[in-house]
Amino acid sequence: MACKVHFVLILLIAFAMGQAASGQKKAADQWLSRPVDDRTFRTFLDFFAYDKELPFDLHVLKVEEQEGIRKEHLSFQSTPRVRVFANLYRSTGAASQKGPAIILLHGGTGAGKDDRGSVVLAELLTRGGWTVLAIDMQYFGERGTDLLTTFTEQEKHERLYNQQPVYLAWVTQTVKDVGRSYDFLLEHRDIDSKRVGLVGFSRGGIVAAIAGGADRRLAAVALVYGAHFDALERGHLAAACPANYIGRISPRPLLMINGTHDADHVKETSVEPLYRLAKSPKLILWADTGHQLPTEEHRAAMLKWLRENLK
């Protein structure tokens, strides 16, 4: 399997380089107008395979309770020698029987899951009745490395988002981390296997479109201020482009919340074309905002949608 994945990766990188040499400046743009076919898509799924028997080696680092929410700071092994750091939020009065949960992916800030925006969303969802597992994506939060140190937009794009092979590897690891998070919730926190959703904010929303299309165990997917790519991004390898995944989330429900004045995830060029590729059941809600956390109105709308689609 490893050799097969490596071979496919080489082919995809060669394909992208060949297109760049032929004068196509934005290779990823083509996926918006013509996503890959099913046969090609199935080869992408090999990237996201992982060892389901690998021990989690769970470490609970801290437990605290505040204002009716119990938060566990923990880490577990995702893939060999790769650990995920996470915060697990639960209402202190939550029922003991199997319940629903949400895996939460943060935006592109250095603090990762501990960024104020991620914490606000996690607590909102917890008070709405879900167990929430907010994870650090690779290179962010407690998983920081010397790849990113300042987390400026220039650095993130020069070293990660616009380095296509590096970005593909990052996307691949994140999708595996989401899959292992799903397994962890079932095996260690008694969550209902049919009631696990995925919510991603900003960069987390971009990757959530990929994880949601790749992992069909996820019951519902919400992209909060996500998009195809941002204003400084130049393109993706096919296997790292949300345009090739968002149409495959169906028949599971998809929600998108976006701002009409978002200068980073632009409505006309990055959001609406991606949404058109999604299939029913789908819903997009537009806020009269820039790139930010959802307004109180749209937070309420998201909770309502989740209650209807992740019962």
Q: Render pLDDT for 112-146 as a digit per residue (tens, 0 to 9).
A: 999 999 999 999 999 999 999 999 999 999 999 99
> When comparing pLDDT for 30 and 156, which is higher?
156
Domain span including residue 269: 2-309
Q: How confident is the model at residue 5 (pLDDT cuts 50, 70, 90)?
A: very low
From the number of C-beta atoms within 10 Å of its C-beta (0-12, 13-18, 19+), residue 94 rates as middle
User: Per mean pLDDT, which range of 14-28, 189-203, 268-282 is the poorest?
Assistant: 14-28
291, two tokens: 């790139």
Cβ–Cβ under 8 Å, residues 211 and 237: no
Largest CA distance in the chain: 60
pTM over the 0.85 mark: yes
Residue 277 sits in a domain of what CATH number?
3.40.50.1820
Average pLDDT in the 237-264 region?
Answer: 97
Averaged pLDDT of the chain = 91
Residue 29: band (very low, low, confident or very high) from pLDDT cuts 50, 70, 90: low
Beta bridge partners of 288: none
**How many structural domains comprise the chain?**
1
* Cβ contact 301:309 at 8 Å: no
Model confidence at 21: pLDDT above 70: no
- What local confidence, expressed as pLDDT, does residue 216 receive? 98
> Does the structure show a pLDDT above 50 at 78?
yes
Mean pLDDT, rounded, for 33-39 = 96
pLDDT at 98: 87
- Torsion-angle region of 260 (φ positive above 0: left; ψ -120 to 50: alpha; else: beta): alpha
Question: Taking residues 256-265, what's their average pLDDT?
Answer: 98
Mean pLDDT over 53-72 rounds to: 97
Percent of the chain exceeding pLDDT 70 equals 90
The string of DSSP letters for 186-250 reads: HHHH-EEEEEEEEEEETHHHHHHHHHHHH-TT---EEEES--S--TT-----GGG-GGGTGGGST
Tell me: pLDDT of 153 over 90: yes
Strand 82-91 and strand 59-66: the pairing is unpaired
Average pLDDT value for residue range 148-164: 98
Determine contact, residues 81/184, Cβ cutoff 8 Å: no
Residue 18 has what pLDDT? 37
pLDDT in the model for residue 90? 96
pLDDT of residue 156: 98
Pick the closest to residue 26 from 262, 263, 173, 235 (CA basis): 235
What are the phi and psi torsion angles at 52 (to 5°)?
A: -70, -15
